[in-house]
Each structure stands twice: as C-alpha cells, then as structure tokens.
C-alpha cells in the first residue's frame, strides 16, 4: 500500500503531524508513506521515523497550471492507494481528485471537501497534534493520538556529545534558551519575540540561584540580531549553532530545561521529553503544547509576548 500526505506549513507544522504519520504506519506496517511539503520544511523529516520519501511543492506560491501539472504527473506516476490532506485549500482537494487516488481524506471544513471520499470533522479547539490525528478517522483508525516522538540520527547524537564537551556542560547539565522565533512570523505581524532586557532578568536570576548551571543560547541565522542583543546584556551565556534539526534535537535532549517562545524548537523539546517553559503571545499555548505538566505555556493576557513579566517565567522555573 502506498499512502501520500500533503502537509503545507513550516517545520513546526510538520513536527506536529509526526504522531499522525507514526500511528498511520503502526496501523499499516507494510505501507510506504510519502509526504509533499513546502521546500523550507523538508529538513524536519531528518528526524521522522515513518516517511519513505519527501517531495516538495510550494503551496503558498502563485503556482500556474504548469506547476500543478508537474505535481499531478509526479503523484500519478507513483500510483498511491490513499491520500490525506492537512490544508484547507480547494486546489489541494482538486489535485487529489484529479490524481484518481481512490481514498482521499481531508477535513470537512476545507474548501476542497467535495473532492474527498472520506471527509473528517475539523476540531480546532485542541492540541494541534490531536487535531491532525483526527484525519485518521477517515481510515477507520480511532486510537488515541500517540505522543510526539522523533528519531535522531546517531551522527547527530555524536555531534551533540562533542558540542557539550566544547561548551563544558558534560558534568553539570545545562539550560537551553531560544530567544525568539524567525523573521518570518515578524514579517507577518505575529509577535513571537521576547525582549532582551527581560531575558536578562531571567538569566541573572538563574545565575544567582544556580551559579554552576550553564545557560546555552541558540538560534539560526534569522535570529542572529536578537541573539546578539541578548549576549550583549548577558555576556556569560554560552552559544551553540546546530546546523540542522537533528543536531538541535540532540542538544535539546541533553538539556535540563528549555526556555523558549513558540517555535519549532519548542516542539523538538517536547519530542525529546525535555522540561519546557514556553512563552506565548498571539498564539494559543493549549493548541501548541500537549496537556502534560512537563510542558508549561505562559500565555500573555494581552496577547503581546513582551507583556509577560519575568517574574511569571521565574515562578514556573522554580516551582516545586
């Protein structure tokens, strides 16, 4: 059996879809599961254990008939037996219908619902991984959503071990800090950046109470400006720059605590089971963190992340 999943969105969306892929593979252990994702999200599948092949298509681009024609040809050539679509775009449903795939699963609330053979109710008021997992009801799979887990390559674990030795954290453990999300949410007017002077208050309090505990800041090229600003006020911070998602996951797996804003790194911390305190502005914590006491979301009452007081964060760090 060959199954195709069309999953628009960024790396965070892909990670939240992993439990659905894992449960689908568990119910169809001999199936080959492929995905079609946006080019910038392909890297997420470095740590996925249930996908055979990752194809790319820019769902958000102004695609012409030739672009859809090329994708249609690629999908038809693979002769899939079933497909599931995460997005609500009518063009995705139409594309699946045109492929002739016999079983087509998608959300009933999407504009392409008429093209699905097995539409599923969309329930948005829950953890996003659970929402995605509801799609499996279209395959008559009614098991509970499994936890988010990943498969980190051994080479990435080895890299993290060397990096921990370089940072001098092998004996003490460490706290990981992700200062803010990428420039893309900011460009869309989505506030996911916590101010450096407030990070400074949190970091100084941790240093005071746990003077031997290293704090490790990380971020990508798009977060460099914010990370530099934080280092200017907290020069004792250690810095790591994992080159891909697998090595970042390996570093998070070795951390005692993760402090972050809503970001793909937050989902990675959940996937490796690291105790996490995450800050939320306009996005909703209950939809992006599982209901587990190890993962704490601090929701801004004003929906502006900068309005979260450092004292609120420290209360959650030192609770118990």
Q: What is the CATH number of the domain that holds 79?
A: 3.40.50.2000
Measure the CA angle with vertex 258, ends 253 and 259; round to 5°: 160
> Are 90 and 200 contained in the same domain?
no
Structural domain count of the chain: 2
Q: Rounded distance, CA 193 to CA 256, Å?
A: 23
Return the bridge partners of 264, or none: none
- pTM for this predicted structure: 0.93
Pick the closest to residue 300 from 247, 262, 243, 246 (CA basis): 262
> Are 177 and 310 contained in the same domain?
yes
Q: Rounded distance, CA 138 to CA 153, Å?
A: 32
> Are 135 and 158 contained in the same domain?
no
Q: Rounded distance, CA 312 to CA 317, Å?
A: 9
Residue ranges making up the domain that contains 233: 154-317
The string of pLDDT tens digits covering residues 87-138 is 767 778 888 889 999 999 999 987 778 899 999 999 999 999 999 999 999 9
> Are 41 and 184 contained in the same domain?
no
The token pair at 66 is 């030739």
- Which is it for the CA torsion 158, 159, 160, 164, positive or negative? positive
The string of pLDDT tens digits covering residues 254-307 is 999 999 999 999 999 999 999 999 999 999 999 999 999 999 999 999 999 999
Sheet of 53-56: strand order equals: 53-56, 32-37, 2-7, 82-85, 103-107, 118-120
> Are 108 and 8 contained in the same domain?
yes
What DSSP element (H or E) covers 94? helix 90-99
With beta carbons less than 8 A apart as the criterion, state whether 241 and 250 touch: no
Domain boundary among 83, 114, 139: 139
């Amino acid at each position: 059996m060959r199954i195709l999943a069309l999953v628009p969105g960024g790396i965070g969306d892909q990670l939240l879809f992993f439990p659905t892929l894992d449960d689908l593979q568990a119910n169809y252990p001999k199936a080959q599961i492929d995905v079609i994702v946006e080019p910038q999200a392909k890297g997420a599948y470095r740590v996925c254990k249930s996908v055979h092949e990752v194809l790319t298509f820019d769902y958000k681009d102004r695609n012409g008939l030739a672009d859809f024609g090329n994708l249609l040809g690629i999908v038809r050539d693979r002769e899939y037996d079933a497909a599931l679509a995460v997005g609500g775009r009518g063009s995705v449903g139409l594309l699946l219908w045109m492929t002739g795939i016999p079983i087509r699963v998608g959300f009933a609330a999407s504009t392409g619902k008429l093209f699905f053979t097995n539409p599923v109710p969309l329930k948005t008021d829950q953890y996003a991984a659970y929402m995605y997992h509801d799609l499996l009801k279209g395959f008559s799979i009614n098991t509970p959503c499994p936890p988010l887990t990943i498969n980190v390559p051994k080479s990435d674990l080895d890299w993290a071990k060397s990096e921990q030795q370089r940072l001098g954290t092998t004996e003490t453990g460490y706290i990981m800090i992700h200062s803010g999300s990428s420039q893309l949410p900011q460009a869309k007017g989505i506030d996911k950046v916590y101010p450096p002077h407030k990070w400074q208050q949190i970091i100084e309090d941790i240093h005071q109470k746990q003077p031997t505990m290293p704090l490790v800041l990380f971020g990508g090229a798009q977060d460099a400006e914010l990370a530099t600003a934080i280092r200017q006020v907290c020069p004792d911070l250690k810095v790591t720059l994992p080159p891909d998602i697998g090595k970042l996951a390996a570093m998070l797996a070795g951390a005692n605590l993760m402090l972050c804003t809503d970001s793909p790194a937050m989902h990675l911390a959940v996937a490796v089971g690291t105790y996490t305190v995450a800050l939320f502005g306009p996005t909703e914590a209950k939809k992006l963190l599982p209901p587990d006491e190890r993962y704490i979301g601090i929701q801004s009452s004003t929906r502006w992340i900068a309005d979260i007081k450092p004292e609120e964060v420290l209360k959650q760090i030192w609770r118990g």
